[in-house]
Structure 1
Amino acid sequence: MAAATRASFFRPRSVIPGFGLTFGLTVTWLSLIVLIPLAALFLKTTELTLDRFIAVVTGPRTLHALWVSFGISFAAAVVNAVFGTIVVWALVRYDFPGRRLVDAIVDVPFALPTAVAGISLTALYAENGWIGSLLAPLGIKVAFTPLGILVALVFVGLPFVVRTIQPVLADLDKQYEEAAASLGASRFETIWRVVLPTVWPALLTGFSLAFARGIGEYGSVIFIAGNMPNVSEIAPLLIVVRLEEFRYADATAIAVVMLVASFILLLIINRLQQWTERRTSER
């Protein structure tokens, strides 16, 4: 026991010194930026009694807003996981005219202000818009419906999936795919047994990032959602509504539920990602 204790105190020194200083700055910075604001959020909810807290977070309007935010964010992340992977495959595995332009367009949602994105999508998918006017005769209404929220979240979440998978797929040598094909594997088997196991951890990471972005998205959604209570109202908007009503404790109660639920879901996804990485390394 004593030997182990002495060994812990006499570890080999790093080539680059300064662990104590950098670790202290890291903890201080994270505390100021992340931990203290989150602690203040939880502290604010103590103004509510337990019965009042439960009544706020289980109210029909709150539950529906949470369902819209989490449910549609999950659906948008799934859509981006599928089509984002297809986009990455085209950008990495094929050389076509305008490939660099397409690659640059993927990053547009990163740089575009969310309000501009929301206004643009609303103008496109409204019943008198370019795309909305074509869908209206088919009975499909996008703007001011939950479907519009899905479109907005797919728009803002796509770059997270593409930029996470792209470097991993670029590092995967084509020779592995050619070897699988030469051994008689079909295209589907090559993708399932060679490509997918390699990109799966990155795919889960991109999925979780797109999912997290969708849960907290506000600017691009409020323009196209319609914001009707119990129809297309998202949880972040409901928090803003409660703040405008000066019901600050109610707003923080909804925010705490979103925070805890998001943390649990991301923890599950990260654990799944670690498990997938271990399974891949064991092969």
Structure 2
Amino acid sequence: MTSASLPASAKRSKRVLPGFGLTMGVTLTYLGVIVLLPVIALVLKGAEIGPARFWAIATAPRTLAALQLTLTAAAMATVFNAIYGVLMAWVLVRYNFPGRRLLDALVDIPFALPTAVAGLALSALFAANGWYGAILEPMGIQVVFTIWGVAAAMAFTSIPFVIRTVQPVLEDLDPQYEEAARTLGAHPFTIFRRVVFPAIFPALLVGITLSFARSLGEFGAVIFIAGNLPFKTEIASLLAVIRLEEYDYNGAAVIALTLLIIALVLLAISNILQARALRYRGKTG
């Protein structure tokens, strides 16, 4: 029997999920209730303050110091994650060694581990009498209660984003292009720079953006290692909590909305750059 003689019902592929209408309705409802409504409430709360009051709170010295520390530490953590994440993804994909599956599973520990536990562990490791601190302190390198501790906590909690976005792209990358470049006499670094990196760049860009956005909102892991000193190691999310404890809901809303705007701008820029990179690959591929 040919496919043309099959009834229309037999031609339809079996669907595990319901039809498009029901599936789309459920997903949009979930998105609206869980994501959009809190964001809209935050925006409306910020709009009630007024532009002048909003600007005054956002540009207050303590707020600016907290935002500057948060952005700087998040950038430091993201740079580290970009380098280490690519290296880890490369090792997991390109090499077979005993314990590779275990190492692959350990990558997701920051997702499963409570951030407060991570902060306590990092504080114990980098303290003056800790395993790392006992080595770094005599060298004049202090991590606890400094921006380096903030960046370390942010890097720990956000590193899986880079690894998990780059890893599947490396797995699907056709090795024939690297072999062709190798037969033409290209050096390994040249192959990575001209063949591998352009292929993984869109995914890497997504991972970097997610890592940076995750670092901006990090709280639990940072407060234990930062010391939370105003104008020194106080992050923006902690300042928002402090404003809530002081019943300054307007101040907390302004800080939270500022972080939200920064994250949304970063995501928009990332999507634009990713689309351009994909179009460039399509033209040159």
Relative to the length of structure 1, the TM-score reads 0.91
> Secondary structure of the residue that 2:247 maps to in structure 1?
coil
2:36 and 2:104 map into 1 onto residues whose CA distance is 36
Render the CA deviation track for 1:150-180: whole Å, top value 9, x for unaligned: 1111111111111111111011133321221
2:232 and 2:152 map into 1 onto residues whose CA distance is 16
2:219 and 2:269 map into 1 onto residues whose CA distance is 24
Q: Which residue of 2 aligns with 1:161?
A: 162
Equivalent residue runs for 1:198-277 within 5 Å: 198-277=199-278
Structure 1 unaligned blocks of 5 or more: 1-13
> Secondary structure of the residue that 2:130 maps to in structure 1?
coil
How far apart are residue 251 of structure 1 and its match?
0.5
Which stretch has the larger CA shift, 116-125 or 63-72? 63-72
The amino acid across from 2:102 in the alignment is: L
Which stretch has the larger CA shift, 44-53 or 168-177? 44-53
RMSD of aligned alpha carbons: 1.6
1:45 and 1:188 map into 2 onto residues whose CA distance is 49
Which stretch has the larger CA shift, 119-128 or 22-31? 22-31
1:222 and 1:87 map into 2 onto residues whose CA distance is 27
Structure 2 unaligned blocks of 5 or more: 1-11
> Secondary structure of the residue that 1:203 maps to in structure 2?
helix
Q: Structure 1's 29 and 180: CA in aligned 2 closer, same or farther, altered over 3 A?
A: same
Equivalent residue runs for 1:1-283 within 5 Å: 18-283=19-284
How far apart are residue 88 of structure 1 and its match?
1.1
Q: Which residue of 2 aligns with 1:10?
A: none
1:94 and 1:58 map into 2 onto residues whose CA distance is 50
How far apart are residue 99 of structure 1 and its match?
1.6
> Secondary structure of the residue that 1:70 maps to in structure 2?
helix
How far apart are residue 28 of structure 1 and its match?
2.4
Render the CA deviation track for 1:76-98: whole Å, top value 9, x for unaligned: 11211111101111111111222
The amino acid across from 2:64 in the alignment is: L
Which stretch has the larger CA shift, 184-193 or 113-122? 184-193
Which stretch has the larger CA shift, 148-157 or 115-124? 148-157
How far apart are residue 51 of structure 1 and its match?
2.5
1:279 and 1:45 map into 2 onto residues whose CA distance is 40
2:171 and 2:25 map into 1 onto residues whose CA distance is 37
How far apart are residue 228 of structure 1 and its match?
0.6
2:151 and 2:41 map into 1 onto residues whose CA distance is 32
Q: Structure 1's 96 and 20: CA in aligned 2 closer, same or farther, altered over 3 A?
A: closer
1:46 and 1:97 map into 2 onto residues whose CA distance is 56
1:46 and 1:269 map into 2 onto residues whose CA distance is 27
Render the CA deviation track for 1:170-206: whole Å, top value 9, x for unaligned: 1113332122111111112100111111111111111
The amino acid across from 1:239 in the alignment is: A
2:40 and 2:111 map into 1 onto residues whose CA distance is 29
The amino acid across from 1:88 in the alignment is: A
Q: Which residue of 1 aligns with 2:4?
A: none
Q: Which residue of 1 aligns with 2:5?
A: none
The amino acid across from 2:154 in the alignment is: L
Relative to the length of structure 2, the TM-score reads 0.90
Count of residues in correspondence between the two structures: 270
The amino acid across from 1:151 in the alignment is: A
